Amino acid sequence: MGNWRPINATMKQVGYTLMQIAIYLMLLGGIGDLVYSFSVKSVIPAHLEYLQLPKDQVTPELSDLALGLIRAIGGLITALGIGALTLLYTAVKKIKPCCALGYGPLVEEDADVAPSRY
């Protein structure tokens, strides 16, 4: 079976700390998207470049749509971060480490959603 050895307490603490860092970065990114979408009134220049539109041809409806999508993505990422944080502080730390298997899909979903913001 190979050279399997049990995980010591230091490795568990390092893993737990890395999970905390990843979750807090997810929350920071989601909240940052929400704050950004409410603080600007124009479309992101990268979106204009993709749509091949000059800045003077942007309608208020297009601007609302683009900012609404950023708000939706920011809300999704924030919700994923809250779910992962809840899972980490309840199931993973206090009950069973095997509950960490549910943490992977949450972070993976964030990794799938995050590049679509820009």
- Summarised one tens digit per residue, pLDDT across range 39-64 is 988 888 888 888 898 988 889 898 89
- Domain assignment present for residue 2? The answer is no
- Domain assignment present for residue 3? The answer is no
- Domain assignment present for residue 111? The answer is yes
Q: What span, in angstroms and rounded, lies between the C-alpha atoms of 116 and 118? A: 6
The tokens describing 9, both together, are: 């307490």
- Domain assignment present for residue 1? The answer is no
Give this prediction's pTM.
0.73
Domain holding 110, by residue range, is 9-117
Task: Tell me the CA distances in angstroms from 29 to 5, 32, 37, 84, 88, one per residue in order.
Answer: 37, 5, 12, 14, 18
Confidence of residue 7 (pLDDT cuts 50, 70, 90): low
Number of domains in the chain: 1
- Domain assignment present for residue 55? The answer is yes
Cβ 81 vs Cβ 110: under 8 Å: yes
pLDDT digits (tens, 9 = 90+) for 70-111: 899 999 999 988 988 888 888 766 666 666 666 677 666 666
- Domain assignment present for residue 59? The answer is yes
- Domain assignment present for residue 106? The answer is yes
